[in-house]
A and B are shown apart, each in its own frame.
Chain A
Amino acid sequence: MTFRTCSYENELAQALKHGHWPEGCGPELRAHVDACGSCSDLVLVTQTFQHARSESERTAVCGSPGLLWWRAQLRRRNAATERVSRPITIAQIFALFVYVFVGVVFVASQYRHGLHWASWWSELVPPRVVHFLPIGSGQVDWNLLLLISGCGVLALLSGLVVYLASEKS
């Protein structure tokens, strides 16, 4: 199929668009349209589509704009709520991962103590309190205690930092 444009095409398209065809056009253009296949196609197609459009518009039954307005408000509120709660969710997930990690490390480190895994606890509290607690006795692992405390603080701070960073972005 050869792609060639007619020099009258723009003029004819404007006339059709503004409803000037055929009465508002000169005899030269009308004679040209009779002879030019491309322009006669343009006239036929444009007039058919314009007629179909006006008929479709005339018979169209559209819904209520009020309902759409209300639904749009609802959607915007939901979107805003989701946007606000997203950083909190991310921070919570991050904090959960950190705590799970710390827990796993803690359990792994205590595993080597065997049945006396909580023996260090008895050194942590006064002996008379230990007497009432159902745990064994032994030496306090201060390194481990510091590690756990450090991890806890780190997890809390990490969650806070992530939350603040997400909210800022």
Chain B
Amino acid sequence: MRKHDTTGEYAIPNVDAGVASRPDELPMDSDAFAGFYQRSAPALRAYLVRVSGNPALADDLMQESYLRFLCASRPEGGEVTYRRYLFRIATNLLRDHWRRPRAACLEDVPEQFLAARDGLARIDSQAILDPAMARLRPRERQLLWLAHAEGYSHREISDITGLSAAGIRLLLFRARRKIARLLRKQIDADRRRA
């Protein structure tokens, strides 16, 4: 199902690759980057927090994502392409993070480590969504967030995650059924408590 090699940082842009003739020149100017950052950072952080379940880790990965984004040679295109590219970097960083410490596969990470611990005030949807998300695998959380929160198509998710579009369709179908069942259970439990 995986399209590329899985040797760690296979899809993370190489810092050296885009080094221009003048090393102090970045391809995007400071003001343009500030604008892009303001528009994209909240969405990227939300993605990383929800998938990792760890706000501190999400902050670290977000910073690293932007650094790699700035240092690498980016694909041609406008902000939509840049945004997707940024999500791809973040997804790969997240995957590398899960692989590195315990040499464990992304899917093997115990779910109790992944419960949301965000200090933000919870609203009803979060109170329902967080427990359900904690019971999903990281890969399922990634796919669901990219498809339903970010609104990416299967092809775009394929670009971001490195999985095949056909595989994403099946995985997403299963993950959606699973989380829908968990959400309904959670809603029913909340209603009974109320």
Q: Mark A residues whose CB is within 8 Å of B.
A: 1, 3, 5, 17, 38, 40-42, 44-46, 48-53, 55-60, 62-63, 65-66, 68-69, 71-73, 75-77, 79-81, 83
User: Which residues of chain B have C-beta atoms less than 8 A from A45's C-beta?
Assistant: 144, 148, 176, 179-180, 183
Give 8 nearest A-B pairs by CB, closest first: A80-B23, A56-B46, A72-B70, A41-B180, A49-B148, A65-B37, A57-B42, A53-B149
- A55 vs B128: C-alpha distance in the bound complex, in angstroms? 13
Q: Mark each residue of chain B from 152 to 167: 1 if its CB lies under 8 Å from any CB of chain A, else 0.
A: 0000000000000000
Interface: B66 (CB within 8 A):
yes
Q: Pick from B78-86, B95-103, B117-125 the stretch touching chain A.
A: B117-125
A79-B71 in contact given A44-B180, A50-B148, A55-B123 (Cβ < 8 Å): yes
B151 x A17 contact (CB < 8 A): yes
Query: Which residues of B are at the interface with A, using a C-beta cutoff of 8 A?
Result: 15-16, 19, 23-24, 26, 30, 33-34, 37-38, 41-43, 45-46, 49-50, 59, 62-63, 66-67, 70-71, 120-121, 123, 125-126, 128-129, 144-145, 148-151, 170, 173-174, 176-177, 179-180, 183-184
Partner of A71 from B42, B67, B129, B177 at Cβ < 8 Å? B67
Q: Is the interface of B mostly helix, strand, loop or mixed?
A: helix
Q: Which residues of A sit under 8 angstroms from B42, Cβ to Cβ?
A: 56-58, 60, 62
Q: Once bound together, how far apart are the Cα atoms of A76 and B176, in whole Å?
A: 41
Residue of A nearest to B49 (CB): A56
Partner of B70, one of A40, A57, A69, A83: A69
Q: How far is the CA of A45 from the CA of B136 in the complex (A)?
A: 13
